[in-house]
Amino acid sequence: MKLKKSAVPAALFLLGLCGLLLFPVHYTDVQAEQTHCRISTEQFNLQWRHSVEKTRWIENYQREPQHFKLRYTDLISFGAGTPNDYPIIFQKNGMIRMKVDRQVEQINWIISRNMQGSLIIDQKLWPIYQQHPDYTVVQITSQQRPLWKAWQIGECL
């Protein structure tokens, strides 16, 4: 069977489109009750208010193919349970940044109005605690799926 010359570009276009849609993409998957969305950027922060100290904590995560790397934690004061074996990267205006560099398989984060759990994505704040009842579990995982499946899940912000 011989293809017409005009059919070759169309067939190549369709083949390329299928390949693109099947191309695997990495993203961060966020699920909590009725929330299901994705974070396309490789880094994000979790922010909350410490239950005892009542000060803000921020953890910076880097998405890797099968897990996350907790790169550093920003905090204002040392309280109960604060690790003392991580090096301090810098201190500025009362904020302390501790280098962590620890692998985390997935994040199961319990949010509430008291702790004011929020995500920071591309320098935009998402106060997820305002959208869910107290003590909702937010599950955050690193995913790799074909592009067409990833498109079905909207961006978190």
Q: Are 148 and 22 in contact (CB under 8 A)?
A: yes
Please report, to the nearest 10 degrees, the dihedral formed by the alpha carbons of residues 84, 139, 105, 39 taken in order: -100
Q: Which of 6-10, 31-35, 138-142, 147-151 has the lowest mean pLDDT?
A: 6-10
pLDDT greater than 60 at residue 1: no
Distance of CA 150 to the CA centre of its chain: 14
Hunting for tokens 């998402």 — which residue is that? 126
Q: Are 44 and 70 in contact (CB under 8 A)?
A: no
Residues 30-49 pLDDT 10s = 999 989 999 999 999 999 99
Q: Are 117 and 86 in contact (CB under 8 A)?
A: no
Rounded to two decimals, the pTM is 0.83
pLDDT greater than 70 at residue 4: no
Confidence of residue 10 (pLDDT cuts 50, 70, 90): low
Find residue 97's DSSP bridge partners. 74, 90
